[in-house]
Amino acid sequence: MFKRFLNTSSVVEYGPLLMGGLFAGVMALSFWAFAGSQTVHAQADSGSRKGSLENIVRADVYLEYDQLPAGRTCRFAVIFDVQEGWHVNANPPQPENLIPIKVTFKSKAGLRMLPIDYPEGEETRVDFSPEPAMCHSGRFAVRGVLEVPCDAGGEVDDLEIQIRYQTCNDKICIAPKTVKLKAAPKIALAGAAVRPVNPKLFTPREDEQVE
């Protein structure tokens, strides 16, 4: 079992809601604390045009360490699960008018996300386009790296993770959505050891300084 940092669930269809320190434009969000863990979970897509679609996309965000390492980098992985019969658009999208999946971070402590090399999508035939769409379905991962400032050691960050995506099936696409999650991860002092977590998601580093 992977170790989690934040966890959200409980989908609603309309209206902004503030709950548990997380903001979501169209969802109710709650999260559970897991000892020594760093992860974010989002469950999204609460309705189609008729309000009949639920839980189409689920996303879990995992960090490499139990604390963010000041003056170093920290890898993250967003693991998506898409309901059978649906897909999300790859980045870059094909056709170009589709909305690609996109992950961004905002950090009060000055963390910077390096450019993401998004995974290549799978070619999918759809009724609404003469050319095949590049998509992701089922379970897939988006991976990236966060740079942590050296002078941020000892702080607790105000971190916002945004996941933008559009869900489609072979006949229609739902309006794109952006899931916004807020977290408060601890930042270890510069040079301090941090503990790797989620080893099945992150291969060990040769220069790793651990507890």
**What average pLDDT does the segment 32-59 reach?**
46
Task: Determine how many CB atoms are found less than 10 A away from the CB of residue 87.
Answer: 27
Between 48 and 192, the more confident residue is 192
CA distances from 178 to 45, 89, 92, 109, 149 (A): 10, 14, 17, 23, 27
Whole-prediction pTM? 0.73
pLDDT of residue 12: 23
Within 8 A by CB and 6+ apart from 86, the residues are: 56, 57, 137, 167, 168, 169
The fold of the 17-188 domain, in CATH, is Immunoglobulin-like (2.60.40)
pLDDT of residue 97: 85
pLDDT digit string, tens, across residues 50-91: 333 347 888 888 899 999 999 999 999 989 999 999 999 999
pLDDT digit string, tens, across residues 124-181: 888 777 788 889 999 999 999 999 999 999 999 998 889 999 888 888 888 888 888 8
pLDDT at 7 over 80: no
